[in-house]
Amino acid sequence: MIVRASRRELLRYGSAAAVAAALPAPAIAQAWPAKPIKIICGYPAGGLTDTFARAYGEAIAQKTGQPVHVENKTGASGAIAAEQVKNAPPDGYTLMWTISTTMIMNKVLFKKLPYDPDKDFVPISWMDAGHLPFITNKNVPAKNLKEFADYARNNKVSLGTYGAGSYSHCAVEALNRHYGLKMEAVHYRGEAPMWIDVASGAVQGGSGSYAAAAAVLQSGNGRPIAVPTKTRMRKLPDVGTFWEQGVTDVAFQVQGFICLVGPAAMPKEIVLKLSDMMVEAGKTERIQKILDTFGIDNAAQDHVFFEKFLAEQGPVWIELVKGLNLEPQ
């Protein structure tokens, strides 16, 4: 919903902001929210990240009684949005909805970032980005990883990725390490063109989101043969995990994520309120339906879970991306 404020409302909100700026953090937290909230989304409208930003944003609006506006500030793997939110007042009225690339991988992929992922933001809520199944073209004679590796030893195989430094790139290199293969990683600008080439056989397979790959699977042009993490995917219950199939590389145990963060000095009371709202929103029928559509099994988790996740899996992701030996941009 797009809300256009009247002049009177703008004056009222402006006055409220001026008063809030003069208040100590506990008083700001107690009064929050007294005006509309803005969520900066670092990725394009219509995609997974944006869809959830708007769905959870509406849930926050319903809970607080204040409008929540989502603005898309795309570019530089989320860095443009991150810089804007980093510099915003830490009053709970400017937040960022982004992904693991912005919060972790960019530390390796860029020589210099306009923000510090570890110091400039406070974690509010974490959400699973979903399993990223490994899918091969229908003409590859393999129904599991062992059969695929046997095929790759005797044939030239290329696997698509949705970007250099992405999970799908890490997956190619992890399979090469485990099986002693030399498969080529072919990088695309996003999932859509990658799945088109998987379906046509231009590349023999790739890893990516269930929603983006759904057309390939439904047409019969692709065959899922493995899913990451140690838990099978509800949408593909008959497909074994990498772990079950003996591929225990950490690349297939870490999880990509979507998240809500705020400027580092946000009052703890506001962080707690937002964190609780996110967990509650994740249980609603609307968000559960979106999760099912995208093949995601877990809804939003609280700030404690998020902080623990960053501490445990952040360093693992960093080492995985470093292992790709990419030249930082």
Predicted local distance difference test score (pLDDT) of residue 24: 58
Distance of CA 282 to the CA centre of its chain: 16
What pLDDT is recorded for position 15? 42
279 pLDDT higher than 70: yes
Q: Is the pLDDT of residue 77 over 70?
A: yes
Residue 170's identity, in one-letter code, is C
Whether 134-252 and 7-129+256-322 are alike in CATH topology: the answer is yes
In the predicted structure, residue 13 carries a pLDDT above the cut 90: no
Residue 75, pLDDT above cutoff 80: yes
Which amino acid, 210?
Answer: Y
Q: Which residues pair with 301 in a beta bridge?
A: 126
The model's pLDDT over 87-110, given as tens digits with 9 standing for 90+, comes to: 999 999 999 999 999 999 999 999
Mean of per-residue pLDDT scores for the chain: 92
Whole-angstrom distance, CA of residue 175 vs CA of residue 62: 46
169: left (phi over 0), alpha (psi -120 to 50) or beta: alpha
Q: Does domain 134-252 have CATH number 2.60.120.280?
A: no
Q: Which two tokens stand for residue 161?
A: 């990725």
Rounded mean pLDDT, 214-236: 96
Q: What CA–CA distance (Å, rounded) separates 291 from 53? A: 13
What distances in angstroms separate CA 171 from CA 49, 118, 185, 200, 327, one per listed residue? 22, 25, 10, 21, 19
CATH of domain 7-129+256-322: 3.40.190.150
**Euclidean distance between CA atoms 198 and 237, whole angstroms:** 22
Question: Side by side, which strands form the sheet with 68-72?
Answer: 68-72, 37-41, 94-99, 257-263, 121-128
With beta carbons less than 8 A apart as the criterion, state whether 218 and 173 touch. Answer: no
Assigned token pair, 55:
């769905």
pLDDT of the residue at 26: 67
Compute the distance between CA of residue 110 and CA of residue 166 in angstroms, rounded to an integer: 13
Domain positions in the chain are 7-129+256-322, 134-252
Cα–Cα distance for residue pair 41/51, rounded to 1 Å: 10
pLDDT digits (tens, 9 = 90+) for 140-195: 999 999 999 999 999 999 999 998 999 999 999 999 999 999 999 999 988 999 99
Burial 178-214 (b: 16+ CB within 10 A, else e): bbeeebebbebeebeebbbbbbeeebbbbbbbbbbbb
What does the pLDDT average to over 317-321?
Answer: 95
Torsion of CA 290, 77, 86, 69, to 10 degrees: -40
- Nearest-5° angle of CA 178, CA 181, CA 182? 135
For residue 130, list its beta bridge partners: none
Question: What is the reported pLDDT for 29?
Answer: 75
Distance CA 289, CA 12 (A): 37
pLDDT of residue 189: 86
| Residue the block writes with tokens 């804007």 | 84
* Residue owning tokens 């030399």: 182
Structure tokens that stand for 138 in this block: 């229908």
**What would the two tokens of residue 220 be?**
């019969």
